[in-house]
Amino acid sequence: MNAIKTENISIGEGPLTIIAGPCSLESLDLAMETGKGIKQVCDELGLPYIFKASYDKANRTSIHSYRGPGLEKGLEWLSEIKSTLGVPVITDIHETYQAQPVAEVADVLQIPAFLCRQTDLLIAASRTGKILNVKKGQFLSPYDMKSVVTKCHEAGNDKVMLCERGTTMGYGQLVVDMRSLAIMRSMGCPVVFDATHSVQMPGGRGETSGGDRRFVPALARAAVAIGIDGLFLEVHPDPDKALSDGPNMIPLHHLKSVLTEIKALDQLVKSNLGVFDLSWEAREK
């Protein structure tokens, strides 16, 4: 598997890359505060960091829910965060026309889980030449992501990461099949685990989604034990007051303790055990 590189970060070799930030861009001040706090923790632990936030949450449960500042203002904020903190940024795109303007600011384009099979969107994102983080749909098996990778490659982009974020199980619940991480990594792509969306309960509060952040550290540990290249976390100074995805976000003041454990486990796995490989031949070496 080839590592994917931004200007300062290599994803797929070396220490675990942290992709983290608030769910949505609620304000520039809050996003800057959150990003600064996360960067400080990552710098202390020696973990590469990419700032994450959405300028538009286009798939909110209710039409009345907060979506974000929109494309133009959102990109202005992301650009300021990127230059002030000196970190790469990642954000979602939802429609083909968004790919090029977002690529002018973001280092990584993210394809939301619900849109991972949208061929035109994948092609538009791929043609920007940017790194892509494609989230596996809650309705897909990991094997189905092979076709997604093929679409991106045939559109001229081999800088593709695949992201696990849980699979729909019944109504309002997600479950994580940890086999997915090994299966998708066998496709030659770095794999990211989204530990916070994996504890989401879609529509669990009627007009908003619920979640249970207590299980985020447990799922993150399990994923790191298998071997992943990136860990995706939504983080907020006060999740209970967040405008989106509050129930599954990690409080900023708990982040260091969570990542300290994760770093220790990542080092153990990668230095002593190795990332899990599906082939028996590899395991017999």
pLDDT tens digits for 67-92?
889 999 999 999 999 999 999 999 99
Q: Which residue has the higher pLDDT, 209 or 216?
A: 216
Residue 100 CB neighbour total at 10 angstroms: 14
Residue with tokens 């809050």: 30
With cut-offs at 50, 70 and 90, classify the pLDDT of residue 211: confident
Q: Give the confidence band of 7 by pLDDT, cuts at 50, 70, 90.
A: confident
Instruction: Identify the pLDDT of residue 281.
Output: 58
Q: Hey, how many other C-beta atoms are within 10 angstroms of the C-beta on 145?
A: 26
Higher pLDDT, 211 or 175: 175
Q: Residues 6 or more apart from 261 whose CB is under 8 A from it?
A: 217, 221
Question: Is residue 124 classed as helix, strand or coil in its secondary structure?
Answer: helix
Residue 182 is encoded by which pair of tokens?
Answer: 């090994």
User: Given this model, what pLDDT does residue 212 score?
Assistant: 87
* Closest by Cα among 45, 14, 20, 13 to 259: 45
Integer Rg of the chain from CA: 17
Q: Which two tokens stand for residue 240?
A: 């209970």
Tell me which of 43-52, 96-105, 272-281 is least confident.
Answer: 272-281
Pick the CATH number of 4-284 from 3.40.50.800, 3.65.10.10, 3.90.440.10, 3.20.20.70: 3.20.20.70
Integer Cα distance of 98 and 92 in angstroms: 9
**CA 86 to CA 48: how far, in whole Å?**
12
- Residue 237: what pLDDT? 97
Q: With cut-offs at 50, 70 and 90, classify the pLDDT of residue 29.
A: very high
DSSP state of 2: -
